[in-house]
Structure 1
Amino acid sequence: MTAATNGTRRADRRQTVTTDAGEARISWWEARRARTVLALGHGAGGGIEARDLAALAAALP
């Protein structure tokens, strides 16, 4: 497990992906009995600590 945190839970793992615009970091929070994947980005700023992303991570299983 990775020590990255969103303020409420720890990321299960992190991954770096090379894109045309540069490197992208992916933080995976895996739910028990997951049925789908929801991918969210922080847009132009705020990073992984952005309030909207932290609120979603806290509310989702």
Structure 2
Amino acid sequence: MWVLGLLGALGTLLLLSLIFYIAIALLTDSDEASIFIAGMIFLFGLAISLMGVGWYGWWA
């Protein structure tokens, strides 16, 4: 089940980096920032899914 733990770790890292990138995009007010944030929100959901499935599988 180490693969699921790896997925959880990957999802966690992706989640932390997305929070960082969204904060930067919000601080730099530009037109492409809104498109960028929309894409990041999609990846944010993907990261949470990866994290949830990975860590649940690791501990289950």
More helix by share: 2
Larger Rg: 2
Normalising by structure 1, report the TM-score: 0.30
Structure number with the higher strand fraction is: 1
User: RCO greater where, 1 or 2, for CA within 8 Å and sep 6 or more?
Assistant: 2
The TM-score, its normalising length taken from structure 2, stands at 0.30
